[in-house]
């Protein structure tokens, strides 16, 4: 089991670094992105496979964990939380659900009978909704944590600035 | 509730020839790029003195700099919150009261000077720019550093221009990393090692094709995405065509996933949760258009290889 978890984390970190490189993530934070992505993906894997969570709720919890670790590790790599967290979210995008949505949509247009059309529309909406909600909730998890941290840090800095001014 | 693939339809088509054609096209582009193209020259950055010549009002120059700074951040793919917080740092430091509004193509900056006598409105165009996290990090640092180190507008602008001149990661390194990333993605969906190899090849070919078409031949990015998705889909069907590997369906599904515009979607939802609805809609449509393009390329690839779902 431990080997499976390690493998999951390892491939998730490679995926995060690789997809992040398209968005020109600097080389010095590759390790940070990989680490945060591995933590997030392993969290989701454990929740889905060991605790029986649905992918949507597992994504939410994984989003929270990515957000928290991005906030904790931002000072180690000296970068904004978003730069660590957003590339780490990329391997968690439920690509297979998106693929099945497109696949069923193609079949909707090709099918001659109403019954089959309803069946494929059902598959389309199911996959599309799971994909959409999983992305929405994992981004919510990350943004919520980052927003709380930013609000707190901005208040502290603002108070310091204000008192210095007085 | 599954959908499967009719293997007989694949073998009755010209999939083998098409896979060969895709490789030939990519090979031709590699040869063309290596031997027949010249590297373009970089544009010279404008200095602050040039701007000073155009306008002598210092407050206007500061507003113009902040608007340019905000537009650069937005062009690199920063969230609206990041743009707003950086503008807040800079405007407080330079002694103006500025409010910034992010529009789909422009940044609108409305500012009042410290004595509240003059108001300035600047509409700064957001230049087309690929996503750039490195630049976002550097610009965020610069905004904070300007406050902590008490930079003058001249020093700030000089440092800003230096950041704009920083080069991106080497393109071939990005190509290799993206191929490895997509192969890893295939593994995460329980694909076997043969499927991973197919996905890595499909990604490398598609990514290289899009990069060359868009940078060397100045093709529209959306058109480039359609061509890349088509080539990646055709190569991604190798598992079915040559009947290799245990998970050809995973290989086919994953071969185009590197084209999914993840960052615009994430930014869109981040803007939504922060109440920046205009930014949310703009980013969402950016992502949606690219998703439509990749779906179109995927469909074209399926039609060309005569691959039928049932």
- Per residue in A52-83, pLDDT (tens digit) is 999 999 999 999 999 999 999 988 988 888 88
Q: Does A93 touch chain B (CB under 8 A)?
A: yes
* CA B296 to each of CA A9, B30, B183: distance values in angstroms, whole numbers, following the listed order: 32, 25, 22
CA separation for the pair B141, A81 (Å, rounded): 13
Q: Which of A37-41, A148-152, B293-297 has the highest mean pLDDT?
A: A37-41
Q: Which residue has the higher pLDDT, A104 or A61?
A: A61
For residue A45, the surrounding DSSP H or E stretch is helix A30-49
pLDDT over 80 at A146, yes or no: yes
| φ and ψ at residue B6, rounded to 5 degrees | -85, 105
Name chain A contacts of B182, Cβ cutoff 8 Å.
Answer: 15, 18
Which pLDDT does position A165 carry in this prediction?
46
Phi, psi of B308 (to 5 degrees): -115, 135
10-residue averages of pLDDT along chain B (310 residues): 62 75 84 72 53 66 90 90 87 86 88 81 88 91 90 90 91 94 92 93 94 89 94 91 88 91 87 85 90 89 79
Average pLDDT over every residue of A106-113:
81
Residue count of chain B, please give it: 310
Nearest to A107 among B3, B136, B298 (CB): B3
Interface contact flag, A107 B134, Cβ < 8 Å: no
Q: How far is A23 from B258, CA to CA, in rounded Å?
A: 12
Q: Which of B79, B131, B180 sits opposite A23 (nearest CB)?
A: B131
In chain B, which residues have their Cβ closer than 8 Å to the Cβ of A29?
137
What percent of chain A stands above pLDDT 90?
A: 53
The range of the structural domain enclosing residue A63 comes to 2-165
The distance from CA A29 to its chain's CA centroid, rounded to whole angstroms, is 17
**Sheet with strand B96-102: strands edge to edge:** B96-102, B106-113, B119-125
Cα separation, A44 vs B194, in Å, equals 26
**Number of domains making up chain A:** 1
């Amino acid at each position: 089991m431990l080997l499976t978890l390690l493998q999951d984390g390892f491939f998730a970190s490679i995926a995060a670094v690789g997809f992040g490189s398209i968005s020109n993530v600097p080389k010095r934070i590759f390790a940070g992105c990989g680490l945060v992505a591995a933590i997030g993906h392993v969290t989701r894997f454990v929740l889905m496979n060991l605790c029986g969570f649905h992918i949507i709720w597992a994504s939410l919890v994984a989003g929270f964990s990515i957000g928290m670790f991005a906030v904790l590790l931002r000072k180690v790599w000296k970068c904004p939380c978003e730069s660590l967290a957003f590339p780490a979210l990329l391997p968690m995008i439920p690509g297979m659900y998106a693929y099945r949505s497109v696949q069923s949509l193609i079949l909707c247009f090709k099918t001659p009978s109403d019954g089959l059309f309803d069946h494929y529309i059902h598959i389309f909406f199911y996959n599309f909704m799971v994909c959409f909600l999983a992305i929405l909730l994992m981004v919510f998890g990350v943004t919520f944590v980052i927003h709380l941290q930013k609000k707190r840090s901005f208040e502290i800095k603002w108070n310091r600035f204000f008192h210095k001014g007085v | 509730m599954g959908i499967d693939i009719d293997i007989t339809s694949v073998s009755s088509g010209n999939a083998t020839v098409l896979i060969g054609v895709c490789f030939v096209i990519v090979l031709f582009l590699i040869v063309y790029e290596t031997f027949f193209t010249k590297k373009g020259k970089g544009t010279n950055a404008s200095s602050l003195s040039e701007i000073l010549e155009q306008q002598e009002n210092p407050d206007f120059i500061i507003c113009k700099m902040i608007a340019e700074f905000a537009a650069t951040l937005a062009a690199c793919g920063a969230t609206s919150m990041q743009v707003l917080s950086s503008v807040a740092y800079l405007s407080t430091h330079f002694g103006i009261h500025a409010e910034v509004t992010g529009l789909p193509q422009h940044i609108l900056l409305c500012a009042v000077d410290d004595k509240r006598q003059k108001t300035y409105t600047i509409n700064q165009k957001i230049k087309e720019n690929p996503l750039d996290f490195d630049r976002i990090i550097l610009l965020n640092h610069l905004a904070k550093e300007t406050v902590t180190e008490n930079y003058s507008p001249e020093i700030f602008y000089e440092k800003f221009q230096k950041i704009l001149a920083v080069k991106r990661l080497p393109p071939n390194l990005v190509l290799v990393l993206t191929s490895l990333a997509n192969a890893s993605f295939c593994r995460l969906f329980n694909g076997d090692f043969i499927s991973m190899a197919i996905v890595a090849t499909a990604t490398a070919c598609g990514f290289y094709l899009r990069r060359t078409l868009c940078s060397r031949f100045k093709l529209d990015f959306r058109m480039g995405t359609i061509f890349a998705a088509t080539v990646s889909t055709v190569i991604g069907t190798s598992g079915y065509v040559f009947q290799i590997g245990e998970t050809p369906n995973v290989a086919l599904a994953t071969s185009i996933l590197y084209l999914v515009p993840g960052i615009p979607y994430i930014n869109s939802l981040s803007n939504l949760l922060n109440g920046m609805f205009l930014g949310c809609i703009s980013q969402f449509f950016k992502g949606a258009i690219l998703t439509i393009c990749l779906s179109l390329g995927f469909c074209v690839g399926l039609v060309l290889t005569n691959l039928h779902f049932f």
